[in-house]
A and B are shown apart, each in its own frame.
Chain A
Amino acid sequence: MSIPMVSKLLRAHLSELATNNQRIDGRGRWDGRDISLEVDVLDRAEGSAKVTMGDTIVYAGVKFQLMTPYPDRPNEGGLMCGAEVRPVAGRNWEAGPPSAESIELGRVVDRGIRESGCIDVNSLCIIPGEKAWQVILDLFAISDDGNLFDAFGLAAIAALKTAIVPCEKFEVGEDYPLNVSKTPIMCSYHKVGNRFVYDANAQEELGGDERIHITLGDDNHVHSLQKGLKGIFSADEFAEIMERAKIKSSELRKLVDSVLGD
């Protein structure tokens, strides 16, 4: 991603708004943009979801491959998660090999899903030491207006929860739904005008400083954290956004459950 020049005016404007407890698009400090979640939107994927957060639009698609289990873990299948932000998603995203930004995106989402233990890798084993499923989760952005992290995180868990293991296609039995036992949710906070806000848009990302991503499980257990970009934050600031993340993640978990009809 090419980083556009950041105007001092934008930073000054964001700071001024922050001192008046306002945001550039009129939202409150902890408000998210309008969000919509659709599932089963891609015919060729075994599981899929589309998330729209304001003008940010992303897809997640799940595919399966057969793999030979690793020699030291003969009873386990695999989970692979990758994010691609191609130039379709915005004028600053460039063609070429995956950028550091998109690799970070994929890895942070991957850790949240993997470490929550929502997918039992042992259940992906077909014949120990010989054959197992590899679950491949591809995250794909088509419109980037900021906070791709949360959009990807939400699309990822929703796509996994709709995935059908394609046994018939690979001639290893009957199709069955992938067992996803938990709903890890990521919440991201950006330092804008010297205070953290939830769900920054592209302008706030551009004129802001560091960002912190928190993935929480069903029981508010922490599964992944990431601090990105230059910036310094205090323990008190972190404690505050952690409390906010607990509230927000449970709201988003309810959204996932309602869309999936659990």
Chain B
Amino acid sequence: MGGYGDIQMIDENGLRMDGRTATQVRPITIETGVIPVADGSCRMTWGTNDVVVAIYGPMEAHPRKIQRQDRAVLDVRYNMAPFSTSDRIRPGFNRRSREISKVTADALESVVLLELYPRSKIRVEIEVLCAEAGTRCVGLTAASVALADAGIPMTDLVVSVASGKVNDVVVCDLNKEEDNYGEADLPMGVLPNSGELVFLQMDGDLSPEEFQTAWDYNVQAASEIHKIMVEALRKGGVN
């Protein structure tokens, strides 16, 4: 959070720089089956974020030391392509992508029925081709759609969305400027059917009231995004 409170990002009518209201999310498109060689795949655009996810597996888990006798292991990799940001990113794993890979795996492990596939591995490959803000949310959401496209049993999809604070106003789904100069960011991973959570992070500064508002905005947005996910899966032939 940059915390540059003097940059005006909300106008007198309460509209944001890109014309959205406080609770409005950026435009979202989801398409399944975009990677022909994968067992399941998904492309999600969210604002100018552009993320593809491929699923491979369940397959033999090797090396053998990673195998679990009673369940499958999820091998999740989140990565940003070198040309996905304003300044080029040097290829290779870094601390940020490693952490996001881990929390994404932790979230997905909570919904995938891993015990159905002992000693196997399911690979989840998240590639950010174009980043705006909230790529971890796009990656997690798209990964759950891709897992469904691969026919992997899950208790629920995961919808991930972030709300935050800009110019002391709580807003849903931060864009690039809001993310850079805003005062707080609260990404969550919601299970749309039960309302339970599998992913939660936060940084910045929120009062208890602001925190509750941001939380409620996320839950509300998640149910809207869930409809788009289900529609994309139906269109791709998954029920």
A89/B83 contact (C-beta < 8 A), A43-B130, A59-B129 known:
no
Q: Which of B65-84 contact A (CB under 8 A)?
A: 77, 79, 81-84
Question: Of A44, A45, A55, A88, which one neighbours B36 at CB under 8 angstroms?
Answer: A55
Interface members, chain A 164-193 (any B CB < 8 Å): 169
Do residues B88 and A142 form an inter-chain contact, with CB atoms below 8 A? no
A91: shortest Cβ distance to chain B, in Å?
A: 5
Closest to B125 in A: A88
Q: Is the CB of A86 within 8 A of B125?
A: yes
Q: How far, in whole Å, are A84 and B87 apart by their CA atoms in the complex?
A: 18
B85 and A88 within 8 A (CB): no
9-residue interface stretch from B52-60, B108-116, B189-197, B213-221? B52-60
User: Which listed residue (A55, A86, A140) contacts B37, Cβ 8 A?
Assistant: A55
Q: At the interface, yes or no: B123 with Cβ under 8 Å from chain A?
A: yes
Contact between B52 and A88 (Cβ–Cβ < 8 Å)? yes
How many of chain A's residues touch chain B, expressed as a range? 20 to 34
Neighbouring A residues of B123 by C-beta, 8 Å: 87, 91
Residue among B48, B91, B131 with max Cβ neighbours from chain A (10 Å)? B91
Contact of A88 among B35, B83, B92 (CB under 8 A): B35
The reply on A136 being an interface residue by CB < 8 A is yes
Q: Which residues of B contact A84 (CB under 8 A)?
A: 81-82, 91
A94 CB to closest chain B CB (Å) equals: 10
A104 to B127 Cα, complex, angstroms:
22
In the complex, residue of chain A having the shortest beta-carbon distance to the beta carbon of B47: A43
Q: Does A43 contact B50, Cβ atoms closer than 8 Å?
A: yes
Chain B residues with CB under 8 A of A44: 48, 83-86, 130-131
Contact A42 B130 (CB under 8 A): yes
Secondary structure class of chain A's binding surface, majority of residues:
mixed
Asked whether A61 lies within 8 Å of B125 as measured between CB atoms, the reply is no
Asked if A88 and B54 sit within 8 Å, CB to CB, the answer is yes
B interface footprint on A59-95 (CB within 8 Å = 1, 0 otherwise): 1011101000000000000000010101111110001
With contacts A42-B50, A84-B91, A88-B125 taken as known, whether A61 is within 8 angstroms of B36 at the C-beta atoms is no
Set of chain B residues within 8 Å of A26, measured between Cβ atoms: none
Q: Which residues of B contact A63 (CB under 8 A)?
A: 82-83, 87-88
- Which residues on the A side are within 8 Å of B48 (C-beta)? 43-44
Query: Which partner residue on chain A sits nearest B59 by CB separation?
Result: A91
Q: Which of chain B's residues have a CB closer than 8 A to the CB of A95?
A: 77, 93
Collect the chain A residues with CB atoms within 8 Å of residue B87's CB: 63
Residue A98, interface by CB 8 Å: yes
Determine how close the nearest CB of chain B comes to the CB of A13; give it in whole angstroms.
20
Q: Whose C-beta in chain A lies nearest to the C-beta of B48?
A: A43
Query: In the bound complex, what is the Cα–Cα distance between A202 and B38 (angstroms)?
Result: 13
Interface presence of A261 (CB below 8 A): no
Closest to A95 in B: B77
A61 near B82: Cβ-Cβ < 8 Å: yes
Contact A138-B81, Cβ < 8 Å, known A43-B48, A44-B130, A86-B125: yes
Report Cα–Cα, A45/B132, bound state, in Å: 12
A57 part of interface (Cβ distance < 8 Å): yes
Q: Which of A57, A97, A140, A145 contacts B92 (CB 8 A)?
A: A97
Whether A145 lies near B36 (C-beta < 8 A) is yes
Selected from A61, A144, A145, A202, the residue in CB contact (under 8 A) with B81 is A61
Tell me the A110-133 residues at the B interface (CB within 8 Å).
Answer: none
Residue of A nearest to B57 (CB): A91
Chain A residues closer than 8 Å to B85, beta-carbon distance: 44
Instruction: Please determine whether A143 and B88 come into contact, CB atoms closer than 8 angstroms.
Output: no
- B53 shortest CB reach to chain A, Å: 8
Interface hits, A147-178 → B, CB 8 Å? 169
Residues in B with CB closer than 8 Å to A87 are 56, 77, 123, 125
CA distance A207 to B132 in the complex (A): 42
By a CB distance below 8 angstroms, the chain A residues around B36 are: 55, 57, 143, 145
Contact of B83 among A48, A86, A91, A97 (CB under 8 A): A48
A138 touches B130 (CB 8 A): no
- List of 10 A-B pairs having minimum Cβ-Cβ separation, nearest first: A61-B83, A88-B125, A55-B36, A63-B88, A45-B83, A138-B82, A88-B54, A143-B35, A91-B56, A43-B48
Given A138-B81, A138-B82, 17 new contacts (CB under 8 A): A42-B50, A42-B130, A44-B48, A44-B83, A48-B83, A59-B81, A84-B91, A86-B79, A88-B38, A88-B53, A88-B127, A89-B37, A89-B54, A138-B88, A142-B52, A143-B35, A143-B36
Instruction: List 9 A–B pairs whose Cβ atoms lie within 8 Å, in order of A's numbering.
Output: A42-B50, A42-B84, A42-B130, A55-B36, A61-B82, A90-B37, A98-B91, A138-B88, A140-B81
